[in-house]
Amino acid sequence: MDPVLIVGAGATGLTLAVDLARRGMPFRLVEARTEPFPGARGKGVQPRTQEVFEDLGVLDALLAHGGQYPLIRAYRGREVLGDQRIDELREPTEQVPYPNILMSPQWRTEQLLRDRLAELGGRVEFGTPLTGFTQDAEGVTATVGGRSMRAAYLIGADGGRSFVRKTLGVDFLGETLETQRMLVGDVRLTGLDREFWHAWPGESGALALCPLPGTDTFQLYAPPPADGAELPTLAELQDLVTATTGREELRLTELVWLSLYRANVRMVDRYRVGRVFLAGDAAHVHSPAGGQGLNTGVQDAYNLGWKLAAGTEELLDSYERERLPVAAAVLGLSSRLLQRDATEGLRRGRETHQLDISYRGGPLAPAGVETASGLAAGDRAPDARLAGGGRLFELFQGPHQTRLIFGGSRPGTDSPGERSFVITEESVRAVYGVPVGSTVLVRPDGYLGAIEVPALTAAR
Ligand SMILES: Cc1cc2nc3c(=O)[nH]c(=O)nc-3n(C[C@H](O)[C@H](O)[C@H](O)COP(=O)(O)OP(=O)(O)OC[C@H]3O[C@@H](n4cnc5c(N)ncnc54)[C@H](O)[C@@H]3O)c2cc1C
């Protein structure tokens, strides 16, 4: 089989490559840059993404390097105005093992994905841009790094300015919010503690310095320069910091990376054109409020990987039908949060955790059964404790789909790509809210497929 060609080795492309590598699918992951992107940009890894990363074998390393969000401490000059937690800290439960947002600079998250990819025998081909492609009924002919190749499918995970999207002629509908501009960068500094995310609100935008866990850097947000002006130098940023904070002792020692961010709120109306698919920022961009972008891209990839491996038209078509509504909801959410932030300050909750994303009503979710605990096909399959200390998520881990048999006997042999388990724990059955004799199919990406109960009257 020709390989899948993944274009772009950001978080989206890397996640897809890791998933395909563990499935033994042939692929190439090509990246235009000659080296990894250095910025911390998307530093919030949401609870659902942590579950995805657990399945992909990346979470332990991410937890070892990442950390909790610190309190935000607001100042006027040297005066402390107050402290605020961006999101309340929650205790893990049996059903939600990772309830809190994890902070990890995006360059590190990507590095850990590349490490995992290497363990699985894959690699990023840096300095290898896609410069053209055409498709026919059997595959895609693409030019990468100046050479022609044949691919079974092409995945445009090539970011907001996506060459793949533009070449397809797919519109990127929405708006650029010229008023929403800010400087974003990573700095090294002395004279400021790493206990707090320090913030100085101001009329033309906040100055903020957030310590990045597992590093000696801070992420800097600052008001934008005047229209048309160059990016500030380290010395100019120092002047801004001193004037805003009144702290002579706060010295910026190195500018690791800096860029001018402009908010775009845009999305495609198609995720698939024939054998070409769009994923991540190539398909949707929005304000960073709520920390959704990287997470949504990771989950696009996670939704697509097993469908590419199966290769059926029904599954490949379901990618757009499942993920496009999610992107639309994320655009709405991040815009609402951006407006709320201006009046109420940063405050996040369950709505940003992505645990409640559901594909109910979608093409792979047979309608009908809602269990006594309110679950239906398309919902995230919750975790639960098994007797002996194991967890349901451990049964799900891997590229297979999982059949949970609540009482009854296992089939002699599993169908290809499926693993069956007899669940005898009453506590697990209660989480799923199904009567004895039920069977629940959990898709490879951890969402509920069919729920079969012995008699529909037993379910609500
Ligand atoms: C200030 C800021 C804060 C943010 N905070 C968060 C947050 O807290 N949480 C969150 O989830 N998200 C956040 N985001 C968003 C997040 O950074 C993006 O959503 C994420 O980078 C998207 O990943 P991606 O892999 O889809 O695209 P990208 O990261 O843009 O990667 C695309 C890759 O494709 C490559 N490429 C482009 N064209 C070609 C070509 N022709 N051939 C080969 N390769 C090509 C590019 O070089 C790039 O490496 C933030 C963004 C910003 C700017």
Q: Report whether residue 39 contacts ligand 1, using a CB cutoff of 6 Å.
A: no
pLDDT of residue 460: 43
- Cα distance between residue 450 and residue 362, in whole Å: 12
Q: What is the pLDDT of residues 317-360, one digit of tens each?
A: 999 999 999 998 887 766 666 666 655 566 656 778 889 899 99
Residue 136 and residue 270 in one domain: yes
pLDDT digits (tens, 9 = 90+) for 36-51: 999 999 999 999 999 9
Percent with pLDDT over 70 in the chain? 95
Residue nearest to atom 11 of ligand 1 (CA): 294
* pLDDT at 194 > cutoff 70: yes
Query: Does residue 459 register a pLDDT over 50?
Result: no
The rounded distance, in Å, linking the Cα atoms of 161 and 282 is 7
Query: 51 in ligand 1 pocket by Cβ < 6 Å?
Result: no
Residue 93 lies in a domain: no
**Could you tell me how many helices (H) and strands (E) the chain has, helices first?**
10, 24
Structural domains in the chain (count): 3
Residue 261 Cα, ligand 1 centroid: separation in angstroms? 12
Q: Cα angle at 120 between 114 and 124, to 5 degrees?
A: 40
Picking from 329, 352, 375, the residue at the C-terminal end of a domain is: 352
End residue of a domain, out of 247, 263, 279: 263
Give the whole-angstrom CA distance, residue 129 versus residue 149. 13
Higher pLDDT, 288 or 55: 55
Residue 77 lies in a domain: no
Token pair 């699918």: residue = 25
Verify that 201 and 290 share a domain, yes or no.
Answer: no
The CATH number linked to 383 is 3.40.30.120
CB 420 within 8 Å of CB 411: yes
CB atoms within 10 A of CB 427: 12
- Residues 220-237 have pLDDT tens digits of 999 999 888 899 999 999
Q: What is the CATH number of the domain that holds 257?
A: 3.30.70.2450
Q: Which residues face 189 on adjacent strands? A: 252
Does residue 84 form part of some domain? Answer: no
Do 142 and 22 fall within a single domain? yes
Q: Are residues 237 and 216 in the same domain?
A: yes
Average per-residue pLDDT for the chain: 93
Atom of ligand 1 nearest to the CA of 184: 1
Q: Is 338 helix (H, G, I), strand (E, B) or coil?
A: helix
170 belongs to a structural domain: yes
| Ligand 1 mean position, distance from CA 135 (Å) | 26
For residue 31, is pLDDT > 60?
Answer: yes
Which residues form the domain of 135?
Answer: 4-65+100-174+265-352
- Do residues 145 and 31 both lie within one domain? yes
Q: Looking at the structure, do residues 229 and 182 belong to the same domain, yes or no? A: yes
Residues 20 and 129 in one domain: yes
pLDDT higher at 257 or 388: 257
With a 6 Å cutoff on the Cβ, whether 449 touches ligand 1 is: no
Say if 428 falls within a structural domain.
Answer: yes
Domain shared by 156 and 305, yes or no? yes
The best mutation among 15, 281, 287 to test binding of ligand 1, ranked by most ligand atoms within 8 Å of the C-beta, falls on 281
In this structure, the answer to whether residues 170 and 182 fall within a common structural domain is no
Q: Report if residue 244 sits inside a domain.
A: yes
**What share of the chain in percent tops pLDDT 90?**
80
pLDDT digits 0-9 by tens, 151-179: 999 999 999 999 999 999 999 999 887 77
Burial zone of 188 (CB within 10 Å; 0-12 exposed, 13-18 middle, 19+ buried): middle
Q: What are the tens digits of pLDDT across the range 411-443?
A: 778 888 999 999 999 999 999 999 999 999 999
> Do 437 and 347 share a structural domain?
no
For 114, 258, 371, 408, 442, the CA distances from 456, given in Å and listed in that order, are: 46, 58, 10, 18, 19
Q: Clarify whether residues 109 and 167 are in a common domain.
A: yes
Burial tier of 53 (Cβ tally within 10 Å: 0-12, 13-18, 19+): buried
